[in-house]
Structure 1
Amino acid sequence: MKRIITIFIFLVIQIPSLVAQQNFFNVPSSEVTQKGKLLYQGQVNITSEETEINNTFSYGLGKDLEVGINIFEFTFDPKHHFHFEHNDTLPKSPVYPLVLLNIQKAFELLPDFQLSIGTQNGLNPARHMHWVNYTYLNLAYEIPGLETRLVAGAYTFNKAFVGDWRGNEETSADNKWGIGFQAGIQQPIIKEKLLFTADFLSHRHKLGESAWGLAYYITKSWVLSMGYQLPNPGSLSNKGLIFEITHVPE
């Protein structure tokens, strides 16, 4: 674990002035990076089976539009001295690591209601490359006075992104699509200092899980989050810890 945390800290130190398509833990929060600002979010997921490192970068273009890059699923095997793992073969497991382009556009429906559309598309940089897709439509609502942020929506995915899911083992096609429900909540406990954060991805694939935790503002622009992920009943996810660092541009 020490080795993984060291790698994570190294990645963060290399990009001190940055901020990506921002997530609660696994679900996009539907907040768009401000024009001319760059957002960074780094995450380490630790389970008994593997340790994953994810990094996201997003740049605000203005008019509630952002674009960026995700570098996902740098995976290490704790059972073999944290040996670097990769997969470019379907159908059972998703392919990884991944380099994805992320795009998100938000629309203000009412003062406290927002609609956002986003996508993450790319490839696994390997000999056998596969197209990977995750696309979503979210509604976000902030409760006046409480500063509670609620997000709910639908997402689509292909098999290269999530691998097999229960009841779908018969197909190996990259472009086999699925659809699911996602939701998230963020509630301040101590204003501008400590937040409760939770999110949920439906389905029975590797990412079918909920995550619960806290976000702590180290400074006005650096946020440290820690949480625990729980697999959905019958899903192929694993229980584990989540550590996340986010740089929010001022």
Structure 2
Amino acid sequence: MKRNYLYLVSIFFVLFSNDILGQQNLFNIPSGDITNSKKIFYQHQLNLYSDKLESKAHLVYGLGKGWDAGINLVGKGFYFSPEWRALLNDDPNKGALYPILMGTLQKQFKINEHFAINVGGQGGYNLSNKLANKEINYYLYGIGIYYFMKGKSRIVGGLYQTNRMFVGNGSTFGAQLGYEINLSKRWYLMGDWISGNNDSSVGVFGGMYNLTKRVQLCAGLLVPNPNTPKPMGIVLELNLLGWDAF
């Protein structure tokens, strides 16, 4: 078992040994990066709470000319207290639906070396066994990105609009803010915040470590906004950057 583990780690270091390309999201909001043309980006996030584990998978393909597109699987996971069971909600009366499979599309308008504007969105259906219980979920956004410290740091801010199927009861329009601050060659401070009182209205505050030039590890403390259904938790994130698609 140990030899197999070392073998897998070695493969990761061989595959992801070229220039770093940036990360697609901070923790919960877009980072402002666009995946380069004909490159593939993968991000996996785990949210750990006292009674459950949530998983988010994000796969993106660079289309070129400031466009990228992808697919998200959101809300996959399981409860481990009071008993083990898979995460599933296909009843809007019980809050946000999950898990959800969504397509994504994003476009960046580069203003100058310090500023860019991104617009994008994601939309799809919850994965219910009953066709009648499938509902459309969507999340639309526009953000501005300010780059500083020679482009190694950024501040991100903008607006979002979504629907109750995706975020549950509460606000469906609001603001989102984030930052990524370079501390050294490998370490960054990182955090983001989504306004409102819905299931996604949380802040996550932590950091990022560049394990290799194409592997990033992120971790943070999840702090929910007042009057939201989300508990406090821990967020762990893995970013794999810049695969050649062809």
TM class by shorter chain equals: 0.7 to 0.9
1:130 aligns with 2:135: yes
Aligned-residue offset at 1:21: 8.1
Q: What's the RMSD between the two structures over aligned residues? A: 2.1
Give the aligned partner of residue 155 of structure 1.
Answer: 160
Give the aligned partner of residue 224 of structure 1.
Answer: 217
In the alignment, the residues of structure 1 paired with residue 83 and residue 219 of structure 2 have an alpha-carbon distance, to the nearest angstrom, of 24
Cα pair 1:42 1:55 within 8 Å, conserved:
yes
Correspondences of 1:89-238 after superposition (within 5 Å): 89-126=91-128, 127=130, 128-145=133-150, 147-165=152-170, 178-191=172-185, 193-238=186-231
1:36 aligns with 2:29: no
Aligned-residue offset at 1:111: 2.0
1:67 aligns with 2:72: no
SS in 1 for 2:165: helix
Cα pair 2:75 2:87 within 8 Å, conserved:
no
Gaps of 5+ in 1: 1-8, 169-177
Aligned-residue offset at 1:75: 2.6
Aligned-residue offset at 1:82: 3.4
* TM-score under structure 2 length normalisation: 0.86
Aligned-residue offset at 1:80: 4.2
* TM-score under structure 1 length normalisation: 0.85
Cα pair 1:20 1:57 within 8 Å, conserved:
no
Q: Please tell me the residue identity of whatever aligns with 1:45.
A: N
Cα pair 1:21 1:56 within 8 Å, conserved:
no
Cα pair 1:21 1:104 within 8 Å, conserved:
no
Aligned-residue offset at 1:146: 6.9
Q: Please tell me the residue identity of whatever aligns with 1:131.
A: I
Cα pair 2:95 2:169 within 8 Å, conserved:
yes
Sequence identity of aligned pairs in percent?
29
Aligned-residue offset at 1:144: 4.0
In the alignment, the residues of structure 2 paired with residue 139 and residue 109 of structure 1 have an alpha-carbon distance, to the nearest angstrom, of 10
Cα pair 1:20 1:41 within 8 Å, conserved:
no
Gaps of 5+ in 2: 1-7
Per chain length, whose mean CA-contact separation is higher, i.e. which structure has more relative contact order (CA < 8 Å, sep 6+)? 2
